């Protein structure tokens, strides 16, 4: 069933859990996420990031995400992740996305807030939810893999709780992505997470906190983040890695032909297994 992210995060708040938001780059990814959610009877978020346009355009996969979400037996939100172009937000809303993220984190506070207010007004026409971001999460979700970068965030990258409160009041958003020590992609060193900062931002804004750069964080640290107010966790890199490595292993097992339909089934199998574990951790089922 297709619902808004706002409704899903209210459910997460009521249960003191987080909802996994899985970036989609293929039909197989949608199948893996929805099969896992339905098996555990847990809500999920399907999301598309513009950085993946080179793999599959939103115009192609977006309507499929919406259609399959509508047919799912569990609550599903369809979300545009890291939209830094208001026109792209409009396109996502037009095709049925129930949530969008305006990412103006590279802009000044004032311009970020002004554009976010436009996004909120625009999404309101569709009854959709809005996520926004202040702070810097570093690498994009598709795969610089961090070459030449340090794995730890610096203090200047962390979200300031007072500024977060001002931003929430100025924009009327439904969820806030903020920086507390995670980065996108594969970690080069163990992430240093500031759990108290999460709690402060949650307390001052009253908003569900969104965790970007969730791949590679330990199960224990995920649980600590959730305890302190994280309600949405973006997850992609290790999911894609799980599917890819399993396909590689299966392809190397035999000496005969490899058929593409087998590749897709292997990918779904491995990604579903990874999503099952992830949902169990986020929902405190494991």
CATH number, residue 180: 3.20.20.70
Q: How many CA atoms lie within 13 A of 235 on its CB side?
A: 30
User: Which residues make up each annotated binding site?
Assistant: 82, 103, 133, 184-185, 212-215, 234-237
> Exposed e or buried b for every residue in 122-133, given b needs 16+ CB within 10 A?
bbeebebbbbbb
Binding annotation for Zn(2+): 82, 103, 133, 184, 212
Mean pLDDT by 10 residues, the chain (286 residues): 97 97 97 98 98 97 98 98 96 98 94 98 98 71 39 62 96 95 55 89 97 84 96 95 95 88 96 97 90
**Whole domain around residue 50: which residue ranges?**
5-282
Give the residue numbers of the binding site for dihydroxyacetone phosphate.
185, 213-215, 234-237
Rounded Cα–Cα distance for residues 12 and 268 (Å): 26
Q: What per-residue confidence (pLDDT) applies to 142?
A: 38
What is the tally of structural domains in the chain? 1
Q: Which residues are catalytic?
A: 81
pLDDT tens string 244-269: 999 999 999 877 889 999 999 999 99
């Amino acid at each position: 069933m297709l619902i808004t992210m706002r409704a899903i995060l209210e459910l997460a708040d009521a249960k003191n859990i987080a909802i996994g938001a899985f970036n989609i780059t293929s039909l197989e990814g949608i199948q893996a996420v929805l099969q896992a959610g339905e098996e555990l009877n847990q809500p999920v978020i399907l999301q598309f990031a513009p950085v993946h346009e080179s793999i599959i355009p939103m115009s192609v996969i977006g309507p499929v995400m919406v259609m399959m979400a509508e047919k799912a037996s569990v609550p599903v939100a369809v979300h545009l992740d890291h939209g830094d172009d208001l026109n792209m937000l409009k396109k996502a809303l037009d095709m049925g996305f129930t949530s969008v993220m305006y990412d103006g984190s590279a802009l000044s506070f004032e311009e970020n807030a002004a554009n976010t207010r436009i996004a909120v007004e625009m999404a309101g026409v569709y009854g959709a939810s809005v996520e926004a971001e202040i702070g810097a999460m570093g690498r994009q979700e598709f795969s610089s893999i961090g070459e030449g970068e340090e794995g730890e965030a610096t203090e200047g990258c962390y979200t300031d709780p007072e500024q977060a409160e001002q931003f929430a009041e100025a924009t009327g958003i439904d969820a806030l992505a903020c920086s507390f020590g995670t980065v996108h992609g594969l970690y080069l060193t163990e992430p240093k997470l500031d759990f108290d900062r999460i709690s402060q931002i949650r307390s001052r804004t009253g908003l569900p906190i969104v965790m970007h750069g969730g791949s590679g964080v330990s199960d224990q640290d995920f649980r600590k983040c959730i305890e302190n107010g994280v309600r949405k966790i973006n997850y992609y890199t290790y999911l894609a890695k799980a599917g890819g490595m399993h396909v590689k292993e299966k392809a190397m097992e035999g000496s005969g032909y490899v058929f593409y339909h087998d590749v897709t089934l292997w990918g779904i199998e491995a990604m579903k297994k990874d999503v099952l574990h992830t949902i169990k951790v986020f929902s405190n089922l494991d």
